[in-house]
Chains A and B, each alone.
Chain A
């Protein structure tokens, strides 16, 4: 039965046309992603190495000036970004680790793009997420409704074929048609990723494939259910297209807006203002308790105590910054979680979370890097203030005439970043996978019920 369905799809040219277009877009997206990932990641790794060399090679100078000049940390772009770049265009890539204050990653690619960027980014993930279900609809909208109109449905059931068997055959045929379109792309990706990122990347690709298979599975069963339920092909097409448009264009924006209302995040101005105020209070408290004055860097503080003051200042600030950034990042993470659960109704939302989570291009990965970079900054700060305390001037009015050299620079280690591993990414995103599985089960139940409702 599945074979017969496939032959039909092939004969009326739909599979060739729609599937061919899809494959073409996928290939373009893949080529672009591959080229960009290689170029960007290569440049970042080179820059990261150069940056540390420049740090080590710098002249003798006062350690605090060296800290002001600081170091850079460049966020690596995982090989799986070829498949799903996730939020990459909308988050920074570079962080300048400097004295005094935690900074954020700067330079979002979308800043250097025109308004076109907001229509979306061509990526394998985008093609599969947005156009994948449309392909299923085009291939399957008339699966039941068309046969009913032609009368062949009655014929088939008079032969003793049970509706569920018919459903299974049609689902299998659609799945095989999709596989024919997508398997070449998957194999290509597996080859490229094995070359770029080794086993970790291939494992991630396997997880990605699992997510997309579930997603397209939901689409197949959903399309067959609607096709079986409604009286005519015309209505089937209209209903399915309405569902598709609602699911891929409307729902993500509505869900995102609603999630923001439930878990609001502050404006830049409010965030900075609040953190500045609280930092100021924390600094003052620490200065009063440990230095006996609450005027920071005032005239009363002898210069030979600046080293210890810097240490006190920094340590007082760490907790406040942690608290503020955690709160902000938690609000982003909660917004995302909420939308992933909405994936029960709109599977795209759960799939998006799963896809970028497993690809290592989601907000959790970004946050993980930010935290690691900040840890490096604090390490550098602590080493430097410790050195300043050790070299405090015995006369009492000197501070900046002290110059440190290579010994101190070399004590700050190279920044090595280890991204979240594939297993951890799987663990963090298992909820989305669960939602997708649940949605698939629901679609299967719906389709099973739908084929029995109408008389052939």
Chain B
């Protein structure tokens, strides 16, 4: 045992000297650090810009509320004549725009690691009592060409390029020694092929993971102070652990292919084929399969049904809609009287049309979310087929930019929209004027993060899905290497 360990250290030290002199260690680790650095730069810049947007919305909210309260006071005191369509005492004005509140989804501290869906799904909605069809389908503004190309974020470097760095270092780990004739020489010493390969693999893993860890952890800790807490450190540790497991998969694969005892050219082509298949082709095919197995309902049907529901609403409330505004002849209707106010018939009708439309399309919009959740579940069930998928899905979930978190956000916003309508509906239909207490009691959106245990369970499963193949490949390679004959 002690001799094995001594041999192992010798191999590591020897390989280090070799690679050092060859400069390839420097070159590959330097290139990896550079690419990761560029990815982090992009991720951090993107998240910072989007966080600034959220901060600006958040900062403007109290100002808007104070301005509204102020105007209401002046209208109630009789100092100001209210506008017909911006009347702080009128529930129709306040509920449909003046008092609108924003629902915000904060970015996680780890967000720069993986931009995920954040370049398409909005992290904010401005909620009014208008139909959800008027605001819930908004998307972020981003060049479609850019969306198609995909962002250069750290996740891209990890999922696509880190395996190549690993393979570039280890594809001819053993085959090169054989082809140069040094393998016979080495194994004539008291050294087993297993120890030799383990030593070489350990050095390569150490160098690449060391570089990755230093760059990722260093930059993220420096740029995201939130990570310097216990929870932040745990998230970072999970990320590094998953990255390590993913890199180890590729290293184990390279070792296993080397253990086959074929030529370097064969190894190169076999490993390249594995990379193309697992990283490029399988995810694309799986995307197709998942969409076929749990297809999204038709958006065209949604559009058509929304419009039909609106038409029915217009017919249903045609009398209310045909009633003219009375404020022209009687300006006093704009003023609240004893807690009451005349809400214009047309505005009541517009609310009712929106409400009924929402009811009509609720089941259909719900189906979009259900189908997407179904797709997500399929991805979770089958992602073990490709470690690239496991790594990508788990790191995106950890970064809080996965489709699941956005789905949760949309559901919570949907509920908040319901509360908002429930608050205004009685006031609007019964003609109750908005008072200062109402302004304070209006619903507020607060994002509720799904339980962390759920996320952790997902991450643990991902780690397992990465590590099990590593163990299997390593065990198989060890078994082969024990039987290796060089003469």
Contacts of B137 in A (CB 8 A): 106-107, 111
Which residues of A in the span 229-286 have a Cβ within 8 Å of any Cβ on B? 233-234, 237-238, 241, 245, 249-250, 252-257, 259-260, 265-271
In contact, B139 and A111 (Cβ under 8 angstroms): yes
In contact, A299 and B324 (Cβ under 8 angstroms): no
Please tell me which stretch of A55-63, A193-201, A211-219 contacts chain B, meaning at least 4 of its Cβ atoms lie within 8 angstroms of it: A55-63
Contacts of B142 in A (CB 8 A): 265
Interface bracket on A: 35 or more
In contact, A120 and B284 (Cβ under 8 angstroms): yes
Please tell me which stretch of B3-11, B150-158, B197-205, B421-429 contacts chain A, meaning at least 4 of its Cβ atoms lie within 8 angstroms of it: B150-158
In contact, B49 and A108 (Cβ under 8 angstroms): no
CB distance from A241 to the nearest CB of B (A): 6
Contacts of A335 in B (CB 8 A): 143, 145-146
Given A116-B286, A397-B328, decide whether A72 and B265 contact each other with a Cβ distance below 8 A: no
What per-residue 1/0 map shows which CB atoms of B99-135 lie under 8 Å from chain A? 0000000000000000011001110100000000000
In contact, B141 and A265 (Cβ under 8 angstroms): yes
CB distance from B111 to the nearest CB of A (A): 14
Please tell me which stretch of B63-71, B227-235, B304-312, B477-485 contacts chain A, meaning at least 4 of its Cβ atoms lie within 8 angstroms of it: B304-312
A252 and B56 CA atoms in complex are apart in Å by 32
A255 and B146 CA atoms in complex are apart in Å by 9
Residue of B nearest to A245 (CB): B164
Which residues of A in the span 106-158 have a Cβ within 8 Å of any Cβ on B? 106-122, 126, 130-131, 134, 138
Which residues of A in the span 19-47 have a Cβ within 8 Å of any Cβ on B? 25, 28, 32, 43-44, 47
Q: How many pairs of A and B residues are in contact by the CB < 8 Å rule?
A: 238
Contacts of A51 in B (CB 8 A): 304, 307
The majority secondary structure among interface residues of chain A is helix
A43 and B322 CA atoms in complex are apart in Å by 35
Contacts of A238 in B (CB 8 A): 168, 268
What per-residue 1/0 map shows which CB atoms of B316-359 lie under 8 Å from chain A? 00100111110111010010000000000010000000000000
Residue from B53, B287, B375 in contact with A267 in the complex, judged by beta carbons closer than 8 Å: B53
State whether the Cβ of B57 lies closer than 8 Å to any Cβ in chain A. yes
A74 and B334 CA atoms in complex are apart in Å by 42
CB distance from A58 to the nearest CB of B (A): 6
CB distance from B28 to the nearest CB of A (A): 11
In contact, A43 and B284 (Cβ under 8 angstroms): no
In contact, B303 and A96 (Cβ under 8 angstroms): yes
State whether the Cβ of B140 lies closer than 8 Å to any Cβ in chain A. yes
Please tell me which stretch of B208-216, B236-244, B292-300 contacts chain A, meaning at least 4 of its Cβ atoms lie within 8 angstroms of it: B292-300
The majority secondary structure among interface residues of chain B is helix
In contact, A398 and B265 (Cβ under 8 angstroms): no
In contact, B286 and A299 (Cβ under 8 angstroms): no
Interface bracket on B: 35 or more
A69 and B350 CA atoms in complex are apart in Å by 11
Residue from B265, B346, B393 in contact with A237 in the complex, judged by beta carbons closer than 8 Å: B265
Residue from B124, B315, B324 in contact with A399 in the complex, judged by beta carbons closer than 8 Å: B324
In contact, B304 and A267 (Cβ under 8 angstroms): no
In contact, A363 and B144 (Cβ under 8 angstroms): yes
Query: Which 3 pairs across A and B sit closest by C-beta, in order of nearness?
Result: A112-B296, A119-B283, A87-B144
Chain B positions within 8 Å of A, measured between CB atoms, are: 38, 42, 49-50, 53, 56-57, 81, 83-85, 116-117, 120-122, 124, 137-152, 156, 160-161, 164, 168, 264-265, 268-269, 272, 276, 280-281, 283-288, 290-291, 296, 298-300, 302-304, 307-308, 310-311, 314-315, 318, 321-325, 327-329, 331, 334, 346, 368, 371-372, 375-376, 379, 389, 392-393, 396, 402-403
What are 28 of the A-B contact pairs (CB < 8 Å)? Answer: A54-B311, A59-B318, A61-B314, A61-B321, A87-B145, A90-B147, A109-B296, A110-B120, A113-B375, A115-B117, A116-B286, A120-B280, A120-B284, A121-B287, A245-B161, A249-B161, A256-B145, A256-B149, A256-B150, A256-B152, A267-B50, A299-B327, A299-B331, A331-B143, A332-B144, A363-B145, A397-B328, A400-B323
| Given A259-B146, A397-B324, 18 additional A-B pairs, CB 8 A | A61-B318, A69-B314, A72-B303, A87-B148, A90-B120, A90-B147, A94-B300, A114-B290, A114-B375, A119-B283, A252-B149, A253-B149, A253-B151, A256-B146, A265-B141, A269-B124, A298-B83, A299-B84
